[in-house]
Amino acid sequence: MTAAATDRPSRAPDRTPRRKAFMVLARITIGLLIPLLIYYGLREMAVDVYLALLVSSLISAVPTVAGLFRRRVNALSAFFTTMVLGGVVVSLVAGSTEFLLAKEAVLTFVTGVWFLAGAFTKRPLSYTFSRPLLEGRFRWPSDWDLLWVGCPRWRRMWRLSSVLFGLGSITDAVIRVVLAYTLPPDVVPALGTALVAVTSGVLMIVANVHYILSGVFDRSSRLYDLTPVAMAAVR
């Protein structure tokens, strides 16, 4: 067996997580841009603000609904599907143009409360969402179940992470309401999309700084100290 042949299996797993991460990022980006393009396209055709917002919400939900029949549902896809379909439901609720512009705030606020409420459940949302993407990849450990059971600092890191995402989401929701009720309607959709990028970027930076300071990339840090019971089980 040649050296080249033995190298192939080790390189393939490295490309797979990157490809998956790229696909998730591309899907999210497209999902953000489609409603924006539809809205401003309709406005160029002199369609009423309320109707343009409603149509853009309904059309942007079509790929998500179609995807339900093609992809296996996991925690991450279920979350995004719930958010998209929840946006459609909120859009169909009768209200003012400002309310429709602020509909993302409703979903973002619910997400924030969800993260906060789940921070002290069996598995925090940040842990549940991060595990499929990070476990055993990008220098993250591969034994998350053992770490969750045996390392109190590991559990604390994820619980605090969920609190951070929860507070960030609620702050985002408040800003969206202010934008919807104080700015011209045609400005709000673009600013709302930009706010997604800003909020997501800030939260990801803060979360990753938190993970690094917790010692996630240093296997000798106290983050990986197993309790005596866990150590006995490993042995």
Largest CA distance in the chain: 71
- Number of Cβ within 10 Å of residue 104's Cβ equals 27
Mean pLDDT of 42-52: 82
List Cβ neighbours of 140 (8 Å cut-off, separation of 6 or more). Answer: 134, 216
Q: Which long-range contacts (C-beta less than 8 Å, at least 24 apart) are formed by 34-41? A: 34/59, 34/60, 34/63, 35/59, 35/60, 35/189, 36/189, 36/190, 36/193, 39/189, 40/186, 40/189, 40/190
- Number of Cβ within 10 Å of residue 201's Cβ equals 10
Q: At residue 218, what are phi and psi to the nearest 5 degrees? A: -120, 100
**Listed range (66-70, 120-124, 155-159, 216-220) with the worst mean pLDDT:** 66-70
**Percentage of residues in the chain having pLDDT higher than 70:** 67
Rounded Cα gap, residues 78 and 173, in angstroms = 21
- Number of Cβ within 10 Å of residue 102's Cβ equals 22
More confident residue, 3 or 98: 98
Amino acid sitting at position 235 = R
Does position 131 have pLDDT exceeding 70, yes or no? yes
Rounded Cα gap, residues 179 and 39, in angstroms = 17
Quick: pLDDT tens for 185-214: 889 888 988 998 899 999 999 999 999 999
Structural domain range at position 142: 3-234
Q: Looking at the 3D structure of the chain, how many domains does it have? A: 1
pLDDT at 235: 54
Distances from the Cα of 75 to the Cαs of 51, 64, 126, 128, 171, in angstroms? Answer: 32, 15, 11, 7, 24
**Listed range (62-71, 80-89, 104-113) with the worst mean pLDDT:** 62-71
Rounded Cα gap, residues 124 and 127, in angstroms = 5
List Cβ neighbours of 164 (8 Å cut-off, separation of 6 or more). Answer: 203, 206, 207, 210
Distances from the Cα of 134 to the Cαs of 6, 228, 229, in angstroms? Answer: 25, 27, 26
pTM: 0.74
Query: CB–CB of 163/119 below 8 Å?
Result: yes
What 3 state SS string does 45-78 have?
Answer: CCCCHHHHHHHHHHHHHHHHHHHCCCCCCCHHHH
pLDDT at 10: 39
- Give 79's pLDDT tier (boundaries 50, 70, 90): low
More confident residue, 3 or 63: 63
Mean pLDDT of 102-129: 88
Query: CB–CB of 53/91 below 8 Å?
Result: yes
pLDDT at 91: 63
| CB-side neighbour CA atoms (13 Å) of 4 | 0
pLDDT at 7: 39
